[in-house]
A and B are shown apart, each in its own frame.
Chain A
Amino acid sequence: MADLSVRFAGIYSPNPFWLASGPPTNSGDQVKRAFDLGWGGAVWKTVGEPIINVCSRYSSVDYGSHRMMGLNNIELISDRPIADNLREIAEVKKLYPRHAVIVSLMVESKREAWHDIVRRTEDTGADGLELNFGCPHGMSERGMGAAVGQVPEYTTQIVEWVKEVARTPVIVKLTPNVTDVRYPGRAAVRGGADGLSLINTINSITGIDLDDFTPRPKVGGRSSHGGYCGPAVKPIALNMVAQIAGDDACRVPLSGIGGISTWRDAAEFIALGCVTVQVCTAAMHYGFRIVEDLADGLANWMDERGFKRIEDFRGKALPRVSDWGDLDLNYKTVAQIDEKLCIGCQLCYVACQDTAHQCIYVGEASGASEGDSAAAEARAADGARRALGIAASAGHAPTWVPEPFQVRGEPIHTLVSGHGLLGDEAREVRVPWVKQDDCVGCNLCMLVCPVPDCITMVEQDTGKPPMSWNQFQRQARD
């Protein structure tokens, strides 16, 4: 069985799964329950001078029938007295000495205030500190959170103040609400940060109620922008992690955050160099119990791949993150449709014809594209036009004018019912084909295809050596 334990800047954690700072880590009881269920660590909800929250606080974006693709919140840092938080942190740490307890902090941008909160927090026995320089709402207007994280000089300054007194590792949590996340990352490392965590939430308005024109979440007929998180933000987070992990000025341990819901998500962040991952929305959606499969799934995958420790695959994807200019211009793939698997929805066909590179056709034998190509092309183009014409009449023109409906150019009178059009024969006549000479290998058809493995992108031997844009430019210069 794979060993999931990790050390983050010296902090031991039985597995890489930490609860991110947020509502799930608001109290000792919650964190204890989470540890009992298997979480390796928790970043305590940001401790600072207690604030007053509004009601309501969360809103979300659903996708199809899937709830909470993205979650948005306008909640602030902990609304509980600092002393209560610190007492519970000490208690948890005493009960769970082998778990990672990190405390998120945010106070006024004053040296004394930071010194004071760092000392008091470390007195609890907590394993490390996470500086919240990312909160995008409420606190930033008061000169904290993202207001610090968005100005590299402030970031460096405050990290320096913290490091003056800190005895435990200091992690800086980065905001994504910047043009280039590497600048605040470098600033934090310059100030002495022992680790970075990213991303914090993204500025967002999730939606507008069209009945009363109020954005969500509603607070007495108004709303405010919030912080967006959940599965929807994962691609943005992965990119920012890759940027930081690949930056020579940010050589510190990383804790990945952003839409992690499954072990696969976690493995992807680790493959980009993260030592631990932090989870919030998925736990808020399903409860702490999700950690069981996060750990189980990751361990099983590692066993299958022969990875004994997290370190064995950590950062493995990083060398493959490349600048566009270094990609091989002579690498070529083309789409191939499995005629047996195709169910005839023709989404690839309309996507390719309307919005991609016009190389998928319907209605003519695919073999025809080889041999007599000019005639075949003409036939294919004709077939495509006809098919498009049919759809236009079905979709847009008033169908109540009962013109004989056409299928493949043959009128089907309404007096004939559709009985003859069922079954595998009906499927076969709808299978599109790819004119591979025209295919640019864009992937769109494969992406829209609802059937797994029906459309594959097949590598073509171009007979040309690899050549990147940068090489091409250099050659042209020489």
Chain B
Amino acid sequence: MKNRAPRLTNEQYSCNFADIQKPLTTEQAVAEAARCLFCFEAPCITACPTHIDIPGFIQKIHNDNPRGSARLILDANPLGASCARVCPVEALCEGACVLNHNHEKPVEIGRLQRFSTDWFFERGMPELFELPEPNGRRVALIGAGPASLGCAAALRRMGYEAILFDRNPEPGGLNTYGIAQYKMTRQDSLNEVEYVKSLGVSVRCGVEVGRDVQTEDLLRDFDAVFLGVGLGGTHKLGIPGDELPGVVEALLFIRKYKTQSYGEVPVGRRVAVIGAGNTAIDAATAAVRLGAERTWILYRRSEAEMPAFDYEYDLAKQDGVIFQWLTAPVEVVGTGVVEGLRCVRMRLGEPDEQGRARPEPIPGTEFLLEVDMVIPSIGQEKLVEWLAGIDGLQLERDRVVVDPATGMTSVPGLFSGGDCVNGGMEVVNAVAEGKLAAAGIDQFLSARAAT
């Protein structure tokens, strides 16, 4: 790297990556819980893809029944702790809170959910559910991210044996490796996996399906298989120079700083992040917090089209990230290492087939941005090749096709959910789809047993 940002002190790092949202004290939680109207057939429940009984768990916080509260949450969503931290609540439960219609701020459902789930983990995971005896049927789950964990927990609670395989050294998927530290630590994610394991689910890490074991073998040896492999790496920029040292794709960058000590993660003095999704924000704020002096986010469309949620955008602005709208990279320049990024100004042209205005370069507007590091964050690749290796698996737009009612793929006994099906959504969607597939698996195996 041409100009590496100077290392910060450990105090600075821990301050920069400290919890962005302070947990509620008991008094605060009880007071906030008192704001909940306890709606009937509450719209927040509907808005949550896992349908947590939100007024129910809030009532239990208010009534000093934290265990009951944690049980209601984890009953509907075994990853309730990470969802409490990373859910885009204003687009889900809090967005649906009826208090919005009363010109009030909605009940802080996410923070209350965190209060109960924190209690659960701080108390050493007291037993919440009576588990049925194993029914003798086994399900293999490929990938140990949110979708598989959601599926496995539901399966185990229905009596199935569930075994997760993950090629990474640690389970949890993007919850472990891909979420900004100040939202959720690696340990938070691993604790949650421990909870799922405490239900009797097995997790085998460092096992790559397709290399160490074949999907066909799993389909043969297990009663059903769940595919929760998520997506691949970040798309390449596809411009000259995108292989230069100093070009680090966003998810890899986040993974590095979450698995190494902060000081070991190289970050440039001047950093350009390409793309304006939520992961781009996570990467840009991480660069700032690791010591980058100037950080830009380049987006080829305008502010209005930005996919990042508003609060993520606000966070980046607070961190001093400079947004360059209608700007696209043309070439990464540098001899041996990144020295700059040649960019071009864009304008919004005719709408494309999805109705989004198509950005087009304005000739003669090229300029050079002097940067030491380029972080592409323009979406994850689909695991097309890997998925194509599964015989008979139907894909559409590179996504796994499933029956929306059961989660079953075109391969009998093979189910799927999460990012590889939905193309990349929230943790809570992955869990919901995992749960749905668990019910589908139960239905499928029960029907098979009956014939």
Contacts and interface: CB of A to CB of B under 8 A. Distances in A.
B101 interface: yes
B56 A395 contact: yes
Nearest to A404: B405
Contacts, number: 123
Contacts of A319: none
B43 interface: yes
Interface in B3-42: 30-31, 34, 37-42
Interface in B84-109: 91-93, 95-96, 98-99, 101-102
B297 interface: no
Interface in A399-434: 399-405, 407, 412-415, 417-419, 421-422, 424, 426-427, 430
Given A391-B40, A399-B52, A418-B48, A413 B436 contact: yes
Nearest to B93: A418
Contact of A65 (B31, B51, B439): B31
A422 B91 contact: yes
Nearest to A399: B76
Contacts of A417: 49, 92, 425-426, 428-429
B53 interface: yes
Nearest to B45: A394
A418 B96 contact: yes
A116 B20 CA distance: 71
B46 interface: yes
A343 interface: yes
Interface in B407-451: 421-422, 425-426, 428-429, 432-433, 435-436, 438-439
Interface string B378-396: 0000000000000000000
B102 to A, nearest CB: 5
A326 to B, nearest CB: 38
Contacts of B336: none
A221 interface: no
A65 B30 contact: yes
B154 interface: yes
Nearest to B153: A400
A351 to B, nearest CB: 9
Given A400-B154, A415-B436, A418-B92, A345 B39 contact: yes
Q: Which of A387, A391, A403, A451 has the most CB of B within 10 A?
A: A391
* B interface secondary structure, majority: helix
A415 B43 contact: no
A402 B46 contact: no
Nearest to B54: A394
B40 A347 contact: yes
B101 A422 contact: no
Contact of A419 (B76, B91, B99, B101): B91
A421 B436 contact: no
Contact of B53 (A394, A404, A424, A451): A394
B75 interface: yes
A403 B440 CA distance: 10
Given A347-B39, A401-B439, A415 B433 contact: yes
Interface string A367-402: 000000000000000000001001100110011111
Interface residues on A, range: 35 or more
Contacts of B210: none
Contacts of B101: 343-344, 424, 427
A287 B49 CA distance: 50
A462 to B, nearest CB: 31
Contacts of A64: 34
Contact of B404 (A345, A415, A419): A415
A157 B427 CA distance: 78
B177 to A, nearest CB: 23
Contacts of B405: 404, 413
Contacts of A398: 75
B416 to A, nearest CB: 11
B87 to A, nearest CB: 11
Interface in A14-68: 64-65
Nearest to B28: A65
A450 interface: yes
23 contacts: A343-B98, A343-B99, A394-B56, A395-B56, A400-B76, A400-B153, A405-B45, A405-B46, A405-B51, A412-B46, A414-B50, A414-B51, A415-B421, A415-B422, A418-B46, A418-B48, A418-B95, A419-B92, A422-B91, A422-B95, A450-B37, A450-B102, A451-B102
Given A343-B98, A394-B42, 4 more contacts: A347-B38, A387-B41, A414-B50, A430-B43
A-B complex: 10 closest residue pairs judged by Cβ atoms: A418-B47, A414-B432, A346-B40, A343-B101, A350-B40, A402-B435, A399-B76, A345-B39, A343-B98, A65-B31
Interface of B: 30-31, 34, 37-43, 45-53, 56, 75-76, 78, 91-93, 95-96, 98-99, 101-102, 153-154, 157-158, 404-405, 421-422, 425-426, 428-429, 432-433, 435-436, 438-439
